[in-house]
Amino acid sequence: MTFNAAALLLLIAGLALIGWLAGRARSNLLAGRAGKKLHSRPQYHGWYVALWLFAPAALFLAVWSAVSPGLITNQVIATEAAQSLPEFGFERGAILSDARAVAQGKQAAVRLPAAAPLVKPYADASHKYAWIGIAAMLALALAGGLYAFTRIKPDFRARTRVEKIVMLFLLLASLVAILTTFGIVLSLLFESIRFFRLVSPAELLFGTEWAPTSGAPQPDTFGGIPLFWGTILIGAIIAMIVAIPIGMMTAVYLTQYAAPVVRKWVKPILEILAGVPTVVYGYFAALTVAPALREFAVMLGIPNASTESALAAGIVMGVMIIPFVSSMADDSINAVPQAMRDGSLALGATPNETIRQVLIPAALPGVMGGILLAVSRAIGETMIVVMAAGLSANMTANPFASVTTVTAQIVKLLTGDQEFDSAKTLAAFALGLVLFIVTLLLNIVALRIVKKYREAYE
Amino acid sequence: MTQDDLTITDPKMKAHGVDVFYGEKQAIKNVSIDVGTDLVTAFIGPSGCGKSTFLRSLNRMNDTVASARVTGQITLDGEDIYAPSMDVVQLRARVGMVFQKPNPFPKSIYDNVGYGPRIHGLAPNKADLDVIVERALVRAGLWDEVKDRLAESGTALSGGQQQRLCIARAIAVDPEVILMDEPCSALDPIATAKIEELIHELRGKYAIVIVTHNMQQAARVSQRTAFFHLGTLVEYGKTTDIFTNPKQERTKDYITGRYG
């Protein structure tokens, strides 16, 4: 007898269905007997019973599934057979999980001889806790169901109750993403703190030498400046030089000049481009743009031209960001009231003067917000830079040279066999934290600007 | 339509047999009207009667509506404004417009007024522009209220001040005609009174055409009144005649509040 959460969930769902039918029938019966009209329609009484039956039991099931393995292991460790186990570490864990696998029937026989005497205690404990869990769950389900069932009366406001419970579920659903993000930040933070015990934050933030894999003879250095510079060069400078003018011109064309038919086709196509997987852009950057740029640079006689260049990654990233910038700029220009445009045209301004001197200045805050969001996307972008920008941490303003970015280095630090307690690995988390904070700040500022700007025209 | 007692000897603008269509729908049917040079002309009529549409065809603002089409003839000083030789940009500099809702640009007060003169190259240098801006604001009766804060945003002014700023903006390009499309409908009574006072002062300097919902306002500010109904011009004459002795039954019903 083991504890099978999925089967049990089905069981209580079945009970809930019975509860639903029973609740509905009882409400009809009581109403008929009392000769009164029901406050809520019968199915709401059914839902009320079903929810009371299902929700507490399901919640218990979730908690129990998380807690019971620990309880089982504790009981096994307390037995005499477990006293001979090694104190700590991998060996102890391996023996325990070996015994557990056999006890649960996932494995025919033990692989480690030391696990053999533990199989029986494990099976016993599993059995015991499974029964406790099932009994408690059923008791809870029945208690909840009975409680709800006895409350049914013709004038009982089942609909209000059910709606409240549904609202609670909706609230929980909306919290999932937020709580998950919070958890991610915490895990980043803890690993980063471990890193900062080994390396000072000042070195990461202001150091100019990045060489985490230099090996034993020299100590590793974790100066983040070359990475930050590479990130800014690619994401905030080159990509934006490409994306801002092209995105703006696209938006101006689409909002002011394009015939409705053109707009009807071009705008959705641009929006689809925003959904192209970045790895596809990465191929394009690495296989097509980068070699072409290198040849061009060699032709010009530029030193240090590399097939992995900041320019290739930046240009392709800029192209990737164009739909983003153009759609934000499009929204902002469209949000400028028609009255503003009419006012300018009525003064004898040409459409061109109107766009340059009235529409774009009026839309500028919104456009700026969009650009900041685009920058925050660009600096967090990983695939293109991993494939096209290279991994050598150079501090150079030469766009034809190879540079590296924060995201590319995180990938490099975390791929391959790594122990999770070396400074090298932990550095990835610290870099991730820095990136997270910077993009978070950028997003906050950008959304503020956009919001303020929207208010100005409402 | 009666024109017998009309004493417009030197019309600024003349419309003859004007039709305006929005797609298939005809919004204005065969309207002919003369706009006097130093008079205030009021267009009145119930909502949807086409008075604003007709006003917007006088400076070709209907061009900005893709489906709009104007036929017939409208002249400014005898020149056909829909002729291919007419430059719409210059036309609009000569026929200014003030809108229903104040629409100052999100720029400083100074730049709002200076915008038109700048794009038309009316002010070769800053000193000239200063003079133009001041004169326009003085004429619009706004100078005393804003002279110490010309650098502040035009959108920070009150509704009535914004509307006078828009009038100053129109005056600054030195137009010959000013079209006003219900300029007081978004304003409170005090701001409305100020605008009406301003219209009185501007009379004679510019030919003014004002569309209004408010019949008392038409009676107060105008010398000529045109009554529109269902896209046609029902009656046009001296304001005093229209309001005291209308010749058409429909005009009489409207001004006595029978419908509208």
Q: What is the ipTM of this complex?
A: 0.89
Record: contact B97-A339, CB cut-off 8 A: no
If asked whether residues A217 and A120 sit together in one domain, one would say: no
Contact assessment for residue A363 and residue A332, using Cβ atoms and an 8 Å cutoff: yes
Last residue of a domain, one of A118, A139, A156: A156
Q: What is the mean pLDDT of chain B?
A: 90
Tell me, yes or no, whether A369 lies in a domain.
yes
pLDDT at res. A120: 82
Q: Are residues A217 and A150 in the same domain?
A: no
Domain boundary among A140, A156, A172: A156
Nearest to B61 among A340, A346, A350 (CB): A346
At B147 the pLDDT is 92
The tokens describing A326, both together, are 């153009």
Domain range for A246 is 210-456
Any B CB within 8 A of A12 CB: no
Do both A222 and A88 map to the same domain?
A: no
A456 in contact with chain B, both atoms CB, cutoff 8 A: yes
Structure token pair of residue A127: 């059995």
**How much is the pLDDT for B2?**
41
A383 shares a domain with A293: yes
Do A94 and A215 share a domain, yes or no? no
Which among A343, A350, A353 has the least Cβ separation from residue B99?
A343
C-alpha–C-alpha distance, residues A115 and A117, integer Å: 6
Res. B248: pLDDT tops 80: yes
Q: Is B106–A361 a contact, with Cβ atoms under 8 angstroms apart?
A: yes
For residue A162, tell me if it sits in a domain: no
What is the pLDDT, as a whole number, of residue B209?
96
Per the domain annotation, does A202 fall within a domain? no
Instruction: Identify the closest residue of chain B to A365 by CA–CA distance.
Output: B106
Name every chain B residue with its beta carbon within 8 A of the beta carbon of A333: none
Q: Give B94 to chain A, closest Cα distance, Å.
A: 8
Tell me the sheet residues that pair with B41.
B209, B224
Chain A, residues 204-243, CB within 8 A of chain B, namely: none
Q: Is residue A124 part of a domain?
A: yes
- Cβ of residue A342 closer than 8 Å to a chain B Cβ: yes
Nearest residue of chain B to residue A350 (CA atoms): B89
Residue whose C-alpha is closest to residue A305's, from A293, A313, A314: A293
A339 and A434 together in one domain: yes
CATH number at residue A429: 1.10.3720.10
What is the model's pLDDT at position B3?
43
B39: amino acid identity, one letter: L
Whole-model pTM: value is: 0.72
**Chain B residues in contact with chain A using a Cβ-Cβ cutoff of 8 Å:** 59, 61, 64, 66, 89-94, 96-97, 99, 101, 103-107, 115-116, 119-120, 155, 166, 169-170, 173
**Residue B1's pLDDT band (boundaries 50, 70, 90)?**
very low
A165 located within any domain: no
Domains annotated for chain B, with CATH where assigned, are 3-255 (3.40.50.300)
C-alpha dihedral over A156, A159, A160, A166, to 10 degrees? 140
Give yes or no for a contact between A386 and A293, defined as CB atoms under 8 angstroms apart: no
In chain B, what residues touch A260 (CB-CB under 8 Å)? 66
Is A340 in Cβ contact with B92 (below 8 Å)?
A: no
Strand partners, A169: none
Would you call A345 and B91 a contact, using CB atoms and an 8 Å cutoff? no
Task: Give the DSSP H or E segment for A252.
Answer: helix A239-252
Residue A41 domain-assigned? yes
Q: Do B89 and A361 touch (CB under 8 A)?
A: no
Q: Are residues A240 and A114 in the same domain?
A: no
**Judgement on whether residues A53 and A115 belong to the same structural domain of the protein:** yes
- A339 in contact with B at a CB cutoff of 8 Å? yes
Question: Are residues A249 and A390 both part of a single domain?
Answer: yes
Residue that finishes a domain, picked among A110, A125, A156: A156
A137 and A221 together in one domain: no
Q: What is the mean pLDDT of residues B158-177?
A: 93
Indicate the helix (H) or strand (E) that contains B71: strand B68-76
Alpha helices by DSSP H, listed for chain B, are 51-57, 88-94, 109-119, 126-139, 143-146, 159-172, 189-202, 215-221, 239-244, 249-255
| Number of domains chain A is built from | 2
pLDDT in tens, B5-60: 456 777 899 999 999 999 889 999 999 999 988 899 999 998 888 899 999 999 99
The verdict on residue A193 lying in a domain is: no
CB-CB under 8 Å, A456 with B115: no
The secondary element (H helix, E strand) that includes residue B4 is none
CA-to-CA distance for B104 and A428, rounded, in angstroms? 52
Q: Does any domain span residue A167?
A: no
Please check whether residue B162 is in contact with residue B138, taking contact to mean a CB–CB distance below 8 angstroms: no
Residues of chain A short of pLDDT 50, as ranges, are 1
